[in-house]
């Protein structure tokens, strides 16, 4: 295990580990690259299924893909059987797409022993490892984990607006460069085109090598080229807070520590005409 990732070989070796909780958090739609389509559902053995867009989103919020409440997280994690000694591994059927979002939610809620399967289901299949057509039907014993929300790990538009002159903070945008530049339309109605002023474009496919993350050396080089050595705090944004977590996790791999997710991301910022748009 090499935080925050586990390899397919590690997972196959440890599939029957008592502490392991393996969770498929695949989403039905993808933005930013062509989705991998399957003729039928496929899962890694012993997987449990979690609908990230309902179970771990605050549906009472007007924000798209809003972060879950502490109580909501606790109920979901306990239902999965999560205890203090559990090892939670998330994966998705696109390689790396939605699993980092689930990983960051667990991190923000104070559960540290959580990982992402590097390469997800596509890498698993590429290596001819065994799959099953259904998720595990074993009823998990209710866990005893209690979420403790760490608010400093996510932010809203007010925080970014107030910090716009802070040279020690950088906002990185995971959307395509065309959307960042405002030459491609936003997929959601009522959202302006463009980007947060002074933010930096880092389309999430650029931190990936096929289905997996690039090496830590490659990622370090990418961030160094974009940011230099002066920035101490990184804020991550995208369309609605999903793919921002991909580049956030890549920053963890590259060794960065002070990381914040702008949960509302461009859907929030671009919908507010009172907020400036970068040129």
4: preceding bond cis by omega (within 30 degrees): yes
- Choice among 57, 155, 212, 238 that is catalytic: 238
What contacts 102, CB < 8 A, 6 or more positions away?
23, 25, 50, 52, 56, 90
DSSP string, 216-250: HHHHHHHHHHHHTT---EEEEE-SSSSTHHHHHHH
238 is annotated as an active-site residue: yes
What contacts 78, CB < 8 A, 6 or more positions away?
142, 143, 144, 145
Can you tell me whether residue 170 is helix, strand or coil? strand
Q: Which residues are catalytic?
A: 238
């Amino acid at each position: 295990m090499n935080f925050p990732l586990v390899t397919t070989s590690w997972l196959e070796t440890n599939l029957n580990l008592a502490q392991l909780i393996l969770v498929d958090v695949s989403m039905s739609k993808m933005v930013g690259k062509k989705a991998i389509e399957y003729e039928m559902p496929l899962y890694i053995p012993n997987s449990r299924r979690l609908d990230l867009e309902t179970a771990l989103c605050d549906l009472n919020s007007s924000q798209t893909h809003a972060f879950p409440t502490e109580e909501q997280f606790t109920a979901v994690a306990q239902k999965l059987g999560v205890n203090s000694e559990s090892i939670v591994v998330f994966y998705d059927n696109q390689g790396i797409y939605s699993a980092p979002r689930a990983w960051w939610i667990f991190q923000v809620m104070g559960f540290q022993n959580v990982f992402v399967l590097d390469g997800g289901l596509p890498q698993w299949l590429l290596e001819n490892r065994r799959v099953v057509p259904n998720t595990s039907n074993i009823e998990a014993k209710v866990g005893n984990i209690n979420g403790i929300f760490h608010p400093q790990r996510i932010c809203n538009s007010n925080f970014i607006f107030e910090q716009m002159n802070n040279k020690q903070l950088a906002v990185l945008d995971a959307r395509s460069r065309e959307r960042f530049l405002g030459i491609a339309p936003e997929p959601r109605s009522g959202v302006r085109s463009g980007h947060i002023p002074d933010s930096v474009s880092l389309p999430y496919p650029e931190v990936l090598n096929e289905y997996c993350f690039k090496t830590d050396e490659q990622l370090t080089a990418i961030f160094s080229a974009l940011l230099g050595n002066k920035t101490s705090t990184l804020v991550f944004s995208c369309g609605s807070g999903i793919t921002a977590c991909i580049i956030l996790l890549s920053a963890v791999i590259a060794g960065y520590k002070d990381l914040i997710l702008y949960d509302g991301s461009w859907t929030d910022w671009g919908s507010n005409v009172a907020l400036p748009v970068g040129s």
